[in-house]
Amino acid sequence: MILSISGVVLLGIIVFLFFRKDGLKASHAVVCALFGFFMAGTAIAPSIKAGSASLASLLGGIKF
């Protein structure tokens, strides 16, 4: 659950920055949000979730 919330916050910040820099129009942001919403209901959603969790654990294990 924490990964989902932090991922949503991170993606939200990225979309906001793109929107502010005029690289992302409001209509594009709406299409991206709808795409993500509908993608969550498909059969590939568990694979995407597992892949993002694996990537997060990989990045979390990196020591500087």
CA distance 23 to 58: 30
Residue-wise pLDDT tens digits, 26-60: 888 787 887 777 777 888 888 888 888 898 888 88
**What's the confidence (pLDDT) of residue 25?**
80
Residue-wise pLDDT tens digits, 7-19: 677 777 877 887 7
User: What secondary structure does DSSP assign to the chain, as a single string?
Assistant: -HHHHHHHHHHHHHHHHHHHTTSS-HHHHHHHHHHHHHHTTSTTHHHHHHHHHHHHHHHHT---
**What's the confidence (pLDDT) of residue 48?**
80
**What's the confidence (pLDDT) of residue 1?**
47
Domain range summary for the chain, segments of one domain joined by +: 12-57
